[in-house]
Amino acid sequence: MKHRGVAALCGALLGATGCSAGVTADTVAPPAPERTAASTASPTSPTSPSEALGSIPDALRQTLPTTTEPVEGGIDIDLMSAIAAPKVDEAPVGRGMLLAQLLLESTDVNRETIRAGHPYLMTQTGDWRQFDLQRYGFGAVAYGELSMAISSDGRKVALADPSGLVTVDLRNNGFRRFNLPVHHAVAMVWSSDGATLFLKDRHSSKRPCGPKGCALDVATGDLTAVPYDLFYATPGAVAETFEVKGSTKSRPGRVITYQEGAASTAVELAYRISPYTAGGPTAARHVAFPQCSLTPKAREAGGVVVVEPPTGTVVAMLASKPGRQCHLGAQAWLTDRHLLVDDWRSGDLWLWDVQNELVSHVATSQATGLNVQVARGVMAQHFREILRP
């Protein structure tokens, strides 16, 4: 996450930033044949081609609020402050709350001052830290947009460009560099236990990761191919992974469930969907993914869609404001009902209580055109008062 700029097209163009898609932390099972889960499919699951499907109905839609006032305890993402921050080696922090970088295509007025593609770390207290990229074997100025990922507990960071991949342990500021048979690792995400880093090769479909992606054991350096496309896959329960496939002219969209040691199962979705690769899906009890319609109709505006994996039922959609397309991402579930949604154009973050249909503005960015990756566990702790039932 997923995201934006070059990465906003990473599914079609295999862009350079860290798209936030993920997979399960457990050992990856060999690919198994896919079968349709007829016994668990929704009664409304379609059998006709997707061209006959309708849009997600208004009854299931919310529109992103127009309010710009963040909630009490909201976060201020100010990269103008970050550029003067000390390096993590000079001022250790132990863990961070989020990573942020200005995108290459950003038109922000401060673009000449804030280095595009350079990752900045926000601490639990809202302070900033920088990374010594040269110490990690990168150039002093970031190559394009560095791929980046932060673990759920905020203790580990991964950074990558075509020269290699580095993992940084914020607890002791140690790092390890991996020179993988990968052109450029993108779509990076940590497993929940921080033992595995999932990634996709930006350009090659013939190297070890193939067209779908790989799991990197950060202790051994072993790289193992996974059977699901990391731009569209996300973890569920233990040994469970969900993959979202969009509607085509010949069939409806589907949610495919992979379980270790068992054949994959698939359920069809009752409405036309167009999963967007910039940001990727995320899962707790439900799966959430960004949608971006290829048609310019206002009725087909982009947004974030929430689906129930066992049945394929569309639970809800948070739609973009009218006239704005393809700028919302499903960042992370902080609880089973609270989804953190990011807006890469504004850089803001929104907390969506899907169950109660409430949307809170929880982070404001001072720069536009931003890629943000959050430490889910740390962010949940920061907003624990809002998350209480």
Quick one: pLDDT at residue 95?
Answer: 95
Quick one: pLDDT at residue 135?
Answer: 95
Architecture of domain 5-387: 6 Propeller (2.120)
**Residue 90 predicted with pLDDT over 90:** yes
Quick one: pLDDT at residue 300?
Answer: 62
Quick one: pLDDT at residue 141?
Answer: 78
pTM for the full predicted model: 0.86
Name the range with the highest mean pLDDT among 206-210, 246-250, 251-255: 251-255
**Residue 140 predicted with pLDDT over 70:** yes
Average pLDDT, integer, range 89-97: 95
Other residues' Cβ atoms within 10 Å of the Cβ of residue 82: 23
SS3 content of the chain, % helix, strand, coil (to 5): 10, 35, 55
136/226 Cα distance (integer angstroms): 27
**Residue 171 predicted with pLDDT over 50:** yes
Quick one: pLDDT at residue 207?
Answer: 80
- Sequence-distant (≥ 6) Cβ neighbours of residue 148 within 8 angstroms: 17, 18, 99, 101, 119, 157, 158, 159, 160, 188, 371, 373
Both tokens of residue 303? 């947004």
Both tokens of residue 266? 């698939």
pLDDT tens digits for range 230-244:
999 987 777 788 999
Average pLDDT, the chain: 83
Query: What phi and psi, each to the nearest 5 degrees, are found at residue 224?
Result: -125, 130
Give the residue extent of every domain in the chain: 5-387
Name the range with the highest mean pLDDT among 16-30, 205-219, 348-362: 348-362
Quick one: pLDDT at residue 11?
Answer: 35
Average pLDDT, integer, range 256-277: 91
175/173 Cα distance (integer angstroms): 6
Determine what percent of the chain is predicted with pLDDT higher than 90.
59
pLDDT tens digits for range 285-326:
999 999 987 665 555 668 999 999 999 999 999 998 765 567
32/177 Cα distance (integer angstroms): 33
pLDDT tens digits for range 173-228:
999 999 899 989 999 989 888 999 999 998 877 788 989 999 999 999 999 999 99
Quick one: pLDDT at residue 20?
Answer: 36
**Residue 13 predicted with pLDDT over 60:** no
**Residue 125 predicted with pLDDT over 80:** yes
Q: Give Cα separations from 373 to 343, 349, 367 (angstroms).
A: 12, 11, 15
